[in-house]
Amino acid sequence: MERESMEFDVVIVGGGPAGLSAAIRLKQINADLNVCVLEKGSEVGAHILSGAVIETRALSELLPNWKELDAPLLTPATDDRFMFLTKSKAIRLMTPPQMNNHGNYIVSLGNFTRWLGTQAEALGVEIFAGFAAAEVLYHEDGSVKGVATGDMGIGKDGQPTGNHTPGVELWARQTIFAEGCRGSLTKTLFERFDLRKDCEDQTYGIGIKELWDIDPAKHKPGTILHTVGWPLDTQTYGGSFLYHLENNQVAVGFVVGLDYANPHLSPFDEFQRFKTHPAIRPLFEGGKRVSYGARALSEGGLQSIPKLTFPGGVLVGDTAGFLNVPKIKGTHTAMKSAMVAAEAVAEALAHEGATHEVTAYGENLKKSWVWPELHQVRNIRPSFHWGLWGGIAYAALETYLFRGKMPWTLHHHPDHLAMKKASECPKIAYPKPDGVVSFDKLSSVFISSTNHEENQPAHLKLRDAAVPVAINLEHYDAPEQRYCPAGVYEIIRNDDGSNPRMQINAQNCLHCKTCDIKDPTQNINWVVPEGGGGPNYPNM
């Protein structure tokens, strides 16, 4: 069946804060522009997960009257705490200046994104939720023409079912890619246009989060706690966050840098173990866990930002990597990158042809406040390659003495190359979940409301089906079983223990992309499933 096509001035791939900010800014500049946003989740906000504490600088530039528009920023940050944990103690440390949240708000980023969606629609932006952009389309001259959504109703055998509906081609004069971390189409653009030739390797973390209803007597709206230390060893980058929102709810999460070395490490189980700490556990006792999710985040900072433009399109937000790691915030920088891109795209569309490369975007972004903000903290994340204490010492030196003006830039390395062989690392004995504050993966996935159409090809593609057993199991003890926070990857055997083989439970996938990043052989390729699949996060 031939695919239908639709034409727009601008197609935006991804309905997160960056994509929606770009759409809003485009319509503010020129209400006559025909702008479309594609969102693979079942609704805007369904796949959005972050801590989150939001800095309002970009929001105030985009929508200065956001308070009058009832933006869901309901809980001002009131109290910052930074703790170092040992197995039994919590030692309060001085809060780094980058983590000072005075003037910021604790939010549900999903609800904030839903609100942005309503603002975009009010301006005339067309939002197509439940449609996954599965393919980049190109003109004969090699420039980006737009994207095509994935076919619906393809069975596991790769053949059309009775419910088959072909994808739709969305043609655009300019296409803005706002896919979030490790975007599946962005990866193909990196290769086709060699966008990463002049930047460092991107490095990532995995963030795992739960939302809890807690005892009102323990609830302190506006309280922010971050921890480092236990349960991680001092050579593994990571830590926790704990944010008191409104309505007696607490967001708690744990981030582990995906450059960890020990293949026996399980980020999910480290998170569950964290909640059993004597300084943390009492907050959750008597409460109820109401949601769970996970996602990867781009931690490379300034030196890992790729070339942002190519003929026919641009990259914005976390798909390019604008997270300010020491600040533990990226929404404001993602939104600002999208606003700058929208301004440059709108200007180009007024004067240039469809295949024009909007180089002004990259040039203008370097003149905005995003670039100096990221430049000032560029060395802090890579300094933790020297371990927790080396990283803290260097960060203090750069922050307080040199104030981000070091004449050098530290380097990153690919996360998957950091993993050592299983025989070289100690095994980690994780306690069984108690069902009170700690839980197993499958019960966690259940409350993420994750769902995929069962009869469809797995969207987790193995480049070589033999690798999971022949290499990953043999040398790394099948780390897929542990770095995935959703139980997607499983080594199964015959009853007598023979014939080990990899089983992929694709229906469990939270779309976090960790497998695409951390697989030591880079054998896993994450592509989009049918639109509308994946988690359905409420209030996350």
> Helices in 413-513 by DSSP H: which ranges?
441-446, 467, 474-476, 480-483
397: DSSP letter: I
484 is catalytic: yes
88 is catalytic: no
Three-class SS state of 31: coil
Q: Which of 175, 298, 331, 444 is catalytic?
A: 331
The bridge status of strand 169-177 relative to strand 313-315 is parallel
Q: Which of 273, 295, 381, 482 is catalytic?
A: 295
199 is catalytic: no
Is residue 451 a contact partner of residue 508, using CB atoms and an 8 Å limit? no
CA–CA dist 113, 44 (Å, integer): 7
CA–CA dist 191, 315 (Å, integer): 14
DSSP string computed for 451-478 = B--SSS--SEEES-TTHIIIIIIHHHS-
CA–CA dist 50, 112 (Å, integer): 11
331 is catalytic: yes
CA–CA dist 377, 243 (Å, integer): 24
Is residue 516 a contact partner of residue 509, using CB atoms and an 8 Å limit? no
Q: Which of 21, 36, 42, 50 is catalytic?
A: 50
509 is catalytic: yes
304 is catalytic: no
CA–CA dist 521, 540 (Å, integer): 32
Other CB atoms within 10 A of residue 172 CB: 25
Angle between helices 331-351 and 17-29 in degrees, nearest 10: 40
Return the active site residues.
50, 295, 331, 484, 509, 512, 515
